């Protein structure tokens, strides 16, 4: 079954053709250059660029896959969560394409897609397993009970892990995308120099909080500027990264131990973070756990992961018609 998949939840316009767990094409048109001058994604600009790019990206995906539109068996699209204007571009394009080709329309949840990126890279991976899903907009520890059945164990009470990286990077004047730049610059380790907090929640067993860490970094940077002092950027970046990784790793392995999971996955843009990968690898080897994460090209937003999840949504009878609408917020365990 050949599925043409569309992703437009934020600032990447992506279309892929996927057959099972095999990716026939995966075209991604990024908007990093357009948003860099603002230091972050501007939703209105993002949706306009999606509108300009999506038709051409779709044609390129079909051509690269070596097929024609008549070979498409279904159209899949990210419908939630994300920037509402950006999502609407993809959803409306997908609905039109589905109707014109006379093929089923499959609505796919963005976070489920990120988890499915692991299916592309690891054909042997099957639920159930535990997933640490971390990105610029979401931080979730979830049980993947089956391909379309999920249980949220913990989530952030405020900022996402990626948002913490991006906003602290921005306050230090680092180039957008901040989280990627911070990871590259974090080359010096002196964790006593900036004693950043480790926020803990007394009433949330697996929940996380990153706003206190973000605020502490911003205050430290601003105070230094007011005194005419220089911040040691590589050390600060390394310390921020360490704290975020501490929280993510502690909560993930607490959940794994409590629930008896030995198969762990990571997904989302922050799963590309070099320190998080290194430490998760290290912890899993110590415990004899299996760890899976996508290759870098599938960590960020892309349509291949949408197609990888779409086949399971289709098999579960999760299909839509022309009334499908985009949704800005929706938990991964929706029914």
Question: What does the pLDDT look like over 44-79, one tens digit per residue?
Answer: 999 999 999 999 999 999 999 999 999 999 999 999
**Strand duo 129-134 + 263-267: pairing:** parallel
**Within-domain flag for 325:** no
DSSP state of 264: E
Query: Is the pLDDT score of 202 beyond 90?
Result: no
| Concatenated DSSP letters of 194-259 | S-------TT-SS-B--HHHHHHHHHHHHHHHHTTPPP-HHHHHHHHHHHHHHHHHHHHHHHHHHH
Domain annotation covers residue 321:
no
Residue 264: its pLDDT value, please? 98
Predicted confidence (pLDDT) per residue in 146-177, tens digit: 999 999 999 999 999 999 999 999 999 999 99
User: Is residue 185 within 8 Å of 236, Cβ to Cβ?
Assistant: no
> Is there a single domain that holds both residue 283 and residue 302?
no
pLDDT at site 277:
98
What would the two tokens of residue 301 be?
Answer: 């937003």
Q: Is residue 121 part of a domain?
A: no
* pLDDT reported for residue 187: 87
- Tokens read off for 241: 């990264």
The residues, any chain, with a CB within 8 Å of residue 99's CB and separated by 6 or more, are 322
In a domain, 328, yes or no: no
* Total residue length of the chain: 335
- Are residues 134 and 272 located together in one domain of the fold? yes
Identify whether 18 is part of a domain.
Answer: yes
- Tell me, yes or no, whether 147 and 270 share the same domain: yes
Percent of the chain with pLDDT over 70: 100
Q: Does residue 305 share a domain with residue 273?
A: no
Tens of pLDDT, residues 102-146: 999 999 999 999 999 999 999 999 999 999 999 999 999 999 999
pLDDT at residue 161, rounded to an integer: 97
* Percentage of the chain lying above the pLDDT 90 cut: 95
| pLDDT for position 263 | 98
Domain match, 144 and 208 both: yes
Q: Both 168 and 279 in a single domain?
A: yes
Give the number of other CB atoms < 10 A from CB of residue 323.
6
Q: What is the distance between the alpha carbons of residues 262 and 5, in angstroms, rounded to a whole number?
A: 32
State the virtual CA torsion across 301, 11, 169, 115 in degrees, nearest 10: -20
Q: What is the token pair recorded at 299?
A: 């960590």
129's tokens: 């397993």
Task: Look at residue 306 and tell me if it is in a domain.
Answer: yes
Residues 155, 64 share a domain: no
The answer to whether 5 and 307 are in contact (CB under 8 A) is yes
Q: Indicate whether 59 and 184 sit together in one domain.
A: no
Range of the domain at 220: 126-294
Question: Per residue in 26-42, pLDDT tens?
Answer: 999 999 999 999 989 99
Asked, for residue 162, whether it belongs to a domain, the answer is yes
For the ranges 25-39, 199-213, 269-283, which has the lowest average pLDDT? Answer: 199-213
Q: Edge to edge, what strands does the sheet with 74-80 contain?
A: 22-30, 12-19, 2-7, 74-80, 105-109
Judgement on whether residues 289 and 196 belong to the same structural domain of the protein: yes
The reply to whether 131 and 279 lie within a common domain is: yes
Number of domains present in the structure of the chain = 2
CATH number at residue 75: 3.30.420.40
- 311 and 280 share a domain? no
Residue 258 pLDDT > 90: yes
Same domain, 134 and 31: no
pLDDT in tens, 225-251: 999 999 999 999 999 999 999 999 999
Assigned domain for 246 exists = yes
């Amino acid at each position: 079954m050949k599925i043409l998949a569309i992703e437009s939840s934020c600032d990447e316009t992506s279309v892929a053709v996927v057959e099972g767990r095999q990716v026939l094409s995966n075209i991604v048109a990024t908007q990093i250059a357009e948003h860099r001058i603002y230091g972050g994604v501007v939703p209105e600009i993002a949706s306009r660029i999606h509108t300009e790019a999506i038709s051409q990206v779709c044609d390129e995906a079909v051509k690269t896959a070596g097929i024609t539109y008549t070979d498409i068996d279904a159209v899949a699209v990210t419908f939630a969560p994300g920037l509402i204007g950006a999502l609407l571009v993809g959803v409306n394009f997908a609905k039109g394409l589905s109707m014109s080709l006379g093929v089923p329309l499959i609505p796919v949840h963005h976070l489920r897609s990120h988890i499915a990126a692991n299916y592309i890279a690891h054909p042997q991976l099957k639920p159930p397993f535990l997933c640490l899903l971390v990105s610029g907009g979401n931080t979730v520890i979830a049980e993947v009970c089956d391909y379309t059945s999920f249980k949220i164990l913990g989530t952030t009470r405020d900022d996402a892990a990626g948002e913490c990286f991006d906003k602290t990077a921005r306050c230090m004047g680092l180039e957008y995308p901040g989280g990627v730049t911070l990871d590259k610059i974090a080359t010096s380790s002196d964790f006593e120099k900036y004693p950043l907090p480790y926020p803990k929640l007394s009433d949330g067993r697996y929940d996380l909080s990153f706003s206190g860490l973000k605020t502490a970094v911003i205050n430290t940077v601003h105070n230094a500027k007011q005194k005419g002092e220089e911040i040691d950027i590589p050390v600060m970046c390394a310390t921020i990264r360490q704290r975020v990784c501490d929280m993510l790793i502690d909560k993930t392995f607490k959940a794994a131990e409590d629930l008896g999971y030995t198969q762990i996955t990571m997904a989302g843009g922050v799963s590309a973070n070099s320190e998080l990968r290194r430490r998760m690898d290290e912890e899993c080897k110590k415990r004899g756990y299996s760890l899976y994460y996508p290759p870098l090209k599938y960590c960020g937003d892309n349509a291949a992961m949408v197609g990888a999840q779409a086949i399971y949504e289709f098999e579960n009878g999760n299909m839509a018609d022309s009334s499908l609408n985009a949704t800005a917020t929706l938990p991964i365990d929706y029914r």
